[in-house]
Chain A
Amino acid sequence: MKKTTSQKLKLGVFVVIGTALLIAALYSIGNRQNLFGNNIRIMTQFTNVNGLELGNNVRYSGINVGTVSKIKMVGDTRIIVEMLIQENISKHIKKDAVATIGSDGLVGNMIVNIIPRESKKPPVISGDTIQSYSKIGTDDMLTTLNVTNENAALLTADLLKITTKIIEGNGTIGLLINDSIMAKDLKQTIFQLKNTSTGASQAITDLKDIISSVKRGQSVAGVLLQDSLSGQKMKTIVNNLEQSSVDISQITTNLDIVLKDIKEGKGALHYLTADPTLVKDIDSTMNSIKEGTYRFNENMDALKHNFLFRGYFKKLEKEKKKEESFNKNNHEN
């Protein structure tokens, strides 16, 4: 049962390939966890690491640049997270970069994201501590959602009460929905409102026309508003009216005094208006004057027939006739 050389060769190849595969796999895994090569250590502080574990990836601008190497609680609320960062990448990470804890996808592992800043600060060196920023965790979001859910439940319960009342016809909205008479009235009201609005629209159109004509100065009001000359005249008129009203007021005062005097029996007018004896005397006087006038006419007729004054009256008649004939001729021409 001796072994041939080919058997030994085949066994050697088998063992070498198998071992090489194992070593390659171990190296590949180790390399991804930054166990080989030059790394620097940087730290950051959090109050809550949201389930971050040793070996979780560290990303800078979305590139895997390292892993979490240590998570240490240093106080009641302070947690120091130490990260191994590839040395060739570390020159791009500035001292004011900010670390946050995120998730690799919706259900993925937790990761540390280092967010770059556009500053001229020097790059980080081993042992540096960079700033951190704690985002709202899933638990916080769920707590907020829980409160929202409770509020939604209360709102739903209230809405249910309101809708029940509406269905039963209670309250204004319930009455509006369920009462058919009110619906008819409402319909009628809306119809009338529609008519009113049509009328209002027409009125507004007319008003618009009026305003535009006023603006153009086509009416009295327009002239008053637009024509400055007319405005000046109006001002003068108003001034005159004001002066007149002052005069009228003065006159009224004087008349008042006169009337007062008359009432008090002062002056002739009092006798004319208030004294009945004077009225009788005047009436008697007028009758005497009328009778005197009649007698005077008789005397004048007697004079016309007297030979001393007859010539004079005939001369007057001739001049009168002459004037009438002259007027007639002018009128015909």
Chain B
Amino acid sequence: MTQSLRIVERIKAFFTEIGDLSYFSGRFFKEVFARPLEFQELLRQCYNMGNRSLLLVGVTGFILGLVFTLQSRPTLMEFGAESWMPSMVGISIVREIGPVITALICAGRIGSGIGAELGSMRVTEQIDAMEVSGTNPFKYLVVTRITATTLMLPILIIFGDAIALFGSAIVENLKGAVSYQLYFNQVFDAIKYSDIIPATVKSFFFGYAIGLVGCYKGYYCKKGTAGVGEASNSAVVYTSMLLFVIDFVAVFLADIFFEI
């Protein structure tokens, strides 16, 4: 009996959290265009989340392209289809692997960072102090961060895709004696708008989810230092799960609208 009550409580807690997150999201849309726009803070967050993540995303993307091509080559060679490598790698990276891997990396780096930063501000009562001083902490801390992740993640994904394709082209050039021109010709021959547009659109949602969950977990952090760690950790976990849910929905909708 106690066990079932516990399960019911957990389910209730889950739905309550979803409801809270929805209200939090609604508040974001209510305040995003409200003045003051906090543009300077937005630019600072964009720089922190975009520029400072570029190295991590670039290195990961480059290694992803190298490894993906190296691992796929033997299998394709068995079928005598190595000439299909640029098309296959191009479509895979642009459509799915690039956005998802980049988003997961950003969830780890940016989501946890936001959770920890806002959590520590909540624990040290800086947010309360901002409210007392007449500054809207939601507008200054949350809206700017969510907007920054929403805007920066697509650009990071584009960089990640480009660097991954470049890594793949290097492997093809060294192993398969395929020129860079031929490689990118074949990649762009294979990629269609139906591949790149849904991927770009969903990358905005990925960025929004990373910012939203990170801010939510940090903004409503429990008291104490343990709460900061929990906020940071749960931000990454929930964001990762949410990313896959968004990815599934995006692929499902793209299949309906673009017939991929």
Residues of A at under 8 Å CB distance from B?
1-3, 7-8, 10-11, 14-15, 17-19, 21-22, 25-26, 28-30, 32-33, 55, 107
Contacts and interface: CB of A to CB of B under 8 A. Distances in A.
B259 to A, nearest CB: 9
Given A7-B51, A8-B47, A29-B192, 7 more contacts: A1-B41, A11-B50, A11-B51, A17-B159, A18-B155, A22-B158, A55-B192
21 contacts: A2-B40, A3-B44, A7-B44, A8-B43, A8-B47, A10-B51, A11-B43, A11-B51, A14-B50, A15-B155, A18-B158, A18-B159, A21-B158, A22-B158, A25-B188, A25-B191, A26-B193, A28-B188, A29-B191, A29-B192, A32-B188
B162 A21 contact: yes
B20 interface: no
Contact of B200 (A2, A3, A17, A22): A22
A271 to B, nearest CB: 125
A30 B193 contact: yes
A30 B200 CA distance: 16
Contacts of B51: 7, 10-11, 14
Interface in B103-155: 154-155
A106 to B, nearest CB: 9
Interface size class of B (residues with CB under 8 A): 20 to 34
Contacts of A33: 192-193
B47 A29 contact: no
Contacts of B191: 25, 29
Contacts of B156: 18
A3 B43 contact: yes
B189 interface: yes
B254 to A, nearest CB: 16
Nearest to B50: A14
B54 interface: yes
Contacts of A30: 193
A10 B158 contact: no
B241 interface: no
Nearest to A3: B44
Nearest to A17: B159
B188 A29 contact: yes
Contacts, number: 60
Contact of A7 (B47, B81, B162, B193): B47
A32 B196 contact: no
The 7 tightest CB contacts between A and B, nearest first, are A18-B155, A11-B47, A28-B188, A7-B47, A21-B158, A18-B158, A3-B44
A8, A10, A21, A22 — most chain B CB neighbours (10 Å)? A22
Interface in B174-220: 188-189, 191-193, 196, 200
A1 B130 CA distance: 15
B80 to A, nearest CB: 9
A331 B82 CA distance: 130
Contacts of B193: 26, 29-30, 33
A29 B186 CA distance: 11
A10, A11, A32 — most chain B CB neighbours (10 Å)? A11
Contacts of A22: 154-155, 158, 200
A32 B158 contact: no
Contacts of B41: 1
Contact of A1 (B44, B54, B162): B44
A25 to B, nearest CB: 6
A3 B40 contact: yes
Given A26-B193, A32-B188, A10 B159 contact: no
A100 to B, nearest CB: 21
A307 B49 CA distance: 199
B46 interface: yes
A21 B159 contact: yes
B113 to A, nearest CB: 15
Nearest to A18: B155
Contacts of B162: 21
A55 B200 CA distance: 21
Nearest to B184: A28
B47, B50, B162 — most chain A CB neighbours (10 Å)? B47
A14 B196 contact: no
A14 B155 contact: yes
A19, A25, A33 — most chain B CB neighbours (10 Å)? A25
A269 to B, nearest CB: 119
A286 B56 CA distance: 168
A55 B258 CA distance: 13
Contacts of A107: 81
A124 B193 CA distance: 29
Contacts of B47: 3, 7-8, 10-11
A11 B196 contact: no
A153 to B, nearest CB: 30
A25 B162 CA distance: 10
Given A3-B44, A3-B47, A22-B200, A14 B54 contact: yes
Contacts of B188: 25, 28-29, 32
B17 to A, nearest CB: 30
A11 B159 contact: no
B92 to A, nearest CB: 15
Contacts of B46: 11, 15
A26 B193 CA distance: 7
Nearest to A2: B40
B29 to A, nearest CB: 23
